[in-house]
Amino acid sequence: MRIGELADQAGVSTRALRYYEEQSLLSPRRTSGGHRFYPETAVDRVKLIQELYTAGLGSRLIAELLPAIDARSVGPELLDRLLHERTRIKTQVDELQVAGQRLDVLIGLATYPDTESCPASLDRDLADPAGRKTHRRCRP
């Protein structure tokens, strides 16, 4: 199939497919006229690549991982890298959750303003399990 057909069937842009080729994630055959030609199995490959990107992996790691997936064997070094990536992603998730909680505090302050106090720290509001106001006075 040609690049446009693959893009349509896999739900990606032709630009993405060209990028995957540049990153050695896809290897199309070329016709005598220089046009890319992909096997039917390329649809599943592109979907897998998309899933790996969505999982937070970079193109270099994906390029190393695809042959291991094909061989159904991930060696210890690659496994260590995947474990490291999972830890990195979990850390990012934790940081994003804290950022979301800070936004919740700001939204609460904007929705129910308290003219007598202002937050000294958004984290302080997050840390008070009793729900007490931990603001300092904005006015002396």
Beta bridge partners of 117: 137
List, for residues 103-135, the tens digit of each pLDDT value: 988 888 888 776 666 666 777 555 555 555 444
115 and 60 co-located in one domain: no
Task: Identify the CA nearest to 114 among candidates 138, 82, 132, 96.
Answer: 138
Number of domains in the chain: 2
Query: pLDDT by residue (tens digit) across 48-105?
Result: 999 999 999 999 999 999 999 999 999 999 999 999 999 999 999 999 999 999 898 8
Q: Which tokens go with 111?
A: 């929705």
Q: What is the mean pLDDT of residues 29-46?
A: 94
Residue 4 confidence class, pLDDT cut points 50, 70, 90: very high
* Structural domain containing residue 29: 1-73
In the three-class reduction of DSSP (H, G, I as helix; E, B as strand; rest coil), residue 67 is classed as: helix
End-of-domain residue from the set 46, 73, 100: 73
Alpha carbon separation from 91 to 5, 69, 85 (Å, rounded):
39, 26, 10
In terms of domains, do 68 and 1 share one?
A: yes
Looking at residue 111, its pLDDT comes to 82
State pTM to two decimals: 0.72
Q: What percent of the chain has pLDDT over 70?
A: 83
Same domain, 80 and 94: yes
Return mean pLDDT, the chain: 86
* Residues 19 and 67 grouped into a single domain: yes
